[in-house]
Amino acid sequence: MDHTDMGINTSGGACGTCGGLTYVISRQGDRAQARICDCSVRCSVCEGRGHMLVEREETFSKKVGARKYEVLVPCACTLRTRRVARYNEVGLPGVVAHASFENYRSAKPEQDRARSVAMHFAHQFDKKGPNTGFILSGPVGTGKTHLLAATLAHLVLEVGMVARYVEISLLYATIRRGFQEGKSGGEIIGPLSEVEVLAIDELGKGRGSPFEMETLDELIARRYNANRTTLFATNYSLEPERKNARPTNGYHSTEDTKSALKGNELLNERVGERIYSRLCEMCTFVELPKDTPDRRRTRQEMESRTSQPTVAGRSNR
């Protein structure tokens, strides 16, 4: 088992592995996978039968009055098994198998807001709907996918929803491969259009080809028209107006200019006004500042400093 094997949180409970959740999530290859914890493999309630008799009382007629009867219902362990199976169909990357709201680390107040928005959405989700989704915008390495993963894990394992995760450029690649196998794009988009909750990561990524724009437009349009809940994460800004990124003085190379313009590119320029307008209605917008630190780079820099060898008996500072 991978060393990242752990429960979504460790809020308490007799079991030190799952923290009382009865399931654990681990990284299995390139996917996050859940399983029933060893402490709950054999249910003490139904003794492994998967169902139980429950006594109920109901009045069928005024003359007869209230009558008690027993009915066979699924045990909680059966529901848990179904939810674990559903989680394993979500498609979350293995790198975020550990992701929870509790272990999300923020360096900016805006990151605290992002966590609050995602956590409130997950914990206050109305199964009867409708529910307004959210879109997280910010630089790479700022925990956007982490929050998507924590949200989907809670919805599937604790609330019992059906959800899917897709990284948009990989979705485009999957559809292209499907064409070679004789499949239509609709065969792949169809299930994503109908799933109860869909998380789309890296929104705006790609070459912006007609194929990509048509695919994205169809997917979002179908979910918008059906009033289904959709979550997004993007590296592109949600700001309403472009800021002047072009160098104003001194010498700047062509590459410098391209990088500056790309860093200020807006999401509505990447996806078009039609899609962006629908996002405004479908989601709560949360934007992280451009100077939000990249947690992966910060961790690597810290590890590099602590692993540097000492020279002539003196430590590096």
Domains, in order of start, for the chain: 99-300 (3.40.50.300)
- For residue 162, what pLDDT is reported? 98
- For residue 44, what pLDDT is reported? 79
C-alpha separations of 40 from 155, 201, 262 in Å: 21, 33, 50
* Cα–Cα distance, 24 to 21 (Å, whole number): 8
Task: List 23's β-bridge partners, or say none.
Answer: 36
By the 8 A CB rule, do 236 and 204 touch?
Answer: yes
Both tokens assigned to 316: 């590096």
For residue 114, the tally of other CB atoms under 10 A from its CB is 27
**Greater confidence, 127 or 69?**
127
The whole model's pTM is what?
0.81
Q: What is the pLDDT of residues 135-176, one digit of tens each?
A: 999 999 999 999 999 999 999 999 999 999 999 999 999 999
In which residue are the tokens 């630190």 written? 293
- For residue 8, what pLDDT is reported? 39
- For residue 12, what pLDDT is reported? 42
- For residue 290, what pLDDT is reported? 92
